[in-house]
Amino acid sequence: MNVRNITTIIAALLSTVMFFSCEENSEEFLKRNLEELHFEYTESTLEFTVRATGQWSVAIPAEYSWIKADPASGTGNPDEYQKIRITCERNVGDVREGSIFLNGSGQSDVEIRIFQRDGLFEWTTVPNGARMDIDGLLQLENASTAYIRIPYLKATGEESFSMSASLSGKGAEGLSIDQSEVAIVDEGDGFIAIPITGTPARQGVVNVQVTLDNEDLGTVSALARVGSTILTKSFDEFKYGGDCIGNRAGITSINATADISLSDETKECAIGDNGANGSGVTSTIRGNNVSFYEEIKMTGWLGLRNYMRPGYIQLGAASATAKEYGSLLTPGLDIPDGVTVDIQVTFRGATYNDPSPDRIMLGLYPKGVQGINLSNIQNVTQREYVPFEIGHQKWVEFSVIIQNATNESALAISLPEEWVQSDAVQAARYYIDDIVVSY
């Protein structure tokens, strides 16, 4: 092929490319970067972009008057992305859907779908799943600073409710709830605060039942207290074991469980590892390594199938544990001889993964007994069951009232009695920290 032919071919190709390029550049278009927008129930604004070759506009059908566009029209440049802000008014009803349409630059009715969450007022729950809780202090011979907190979502700030409430229990003497109506004056999420007035005259449980607009919200309990804290446990001395709740590997001793101490040389321990040396605080340590048990400040504490984690304790195991419940038993409660009191137990609880319990049991147990198993679980008295469907890898605060405690008992925290199949306690792990017992 000679040079003249090659030159002719190249010229023809360039002409073709230039022709199509010019044709493409001359073509009108109107393009958007998305096809739908999703809004919260509150008044809010989101943006999208358009790119156009000429004039464009936004059309919003009359039935979607709750949607606004800014700007609603413009002139495009093919190389320029222009922002359009879409605002949805506050929704006070059900989920709603709408559409806006782009027109111009050779295009028509280019749709963008609009979705907005429902804005209907609703009652919600406190973090532990209850409909309400009690904050503030009820202390003997002191004016109450306590109040009932009832959380809600999506208020308009114009809600009002008729209310009735009743108090019962040993500690209710001297207390009252005086309101018959409650109102919400702020928009958004929050909680109703209902004061408990008066001065408690007697130590003990205070049960509060609340009804709003004929809807029974159930009962929540607090404690009218003397002011004595008789036990705290934070497990700060625990440093071995994988960190399940923090989802981090931890460390463990290179020595066997019966020989470990906090000054040992260490090695890495996996997140969910129960079996590595030093990950288990069990009766083995109590029987064969008393000095280590003292070192981690667990002298007097008992229980079965409980395991060290860094800064907290695990109860239960990843496999069935025959006849032993995952449990933790405190030392005998430091209550004066001959005195019976109601105690308040606060703690943090968490789960790592499944299987995990949907509830746990707290109660009183004879002090000094090794742990809870199938043959002696009936010895747990004054049982309270704590709902534990709390999701994984997050700490949740709990508060429980245990009635009629004396110094003959320890506090027991355990898997519930029904956690058994085929005569074996089933797999389940849960985690406890920051225990405080007071009356």
Rounded Cα distance between 277 and 279, Å, is 6
- For the stretch 34-65, pLDDT in tens is 999 999 999 999 999 999 999 999 999 999 99
pTM exceeds cut of 0.95 = no
Rounded Cα distance between 297 and 330, Å, is 12
Rounded Cα distance between 403 and 105, Å, is 76
Mean pLDDT for the stretch of residues 421-434: 95
According to DSSP H, which parts of 216-320 are helical? 283-288, 290-295
**Are the CB atoms for 386 and 399 separated by under 8 Å?**
no
Residue 248 phi, psi (nearest 5) = -135, 145
- Domain annotation for the chain: domains and CATH numbers: 30-116 (2.60.40.10), 122-223 (2.60.40), 229-438 (2.60.120.260)
CA dihedral 39, 41, 43, 49 (to 10 degrees): 0
In the sheet with 359-366, reading across from the earlier edge strand, the strands are: 327-332, 409-414, 359-366, 381-387
**Are the CB atoms for 71 and 84 separated by under 8 Å?**
yes
| 6 — pLDDT class (breaks 50, 70, 90) | very low
Q: How many CB atoms lie within 10 A of CB 396?
A: 17
Look at 48 and 7; give whichever has higher pLDDT: 48
What residue type is assigned to position 438 of the chain?
S
- For the stretch 184-210, pLDDT in tens is 999 999 999 999 999 999 999 999 999
- For the stretch 91-149, pLDDT in tens is 999 999 999 999 999 899 999 999 999 999 999 999 888 899 999 999 999 999 999 99
Rounded Cα distance between 225 and 205, Å, is 9
Residue 257 pLDDT > 50: yes
Q: Of 105, 208, 213, 103, nearest to 148 (Cα)? A: 208
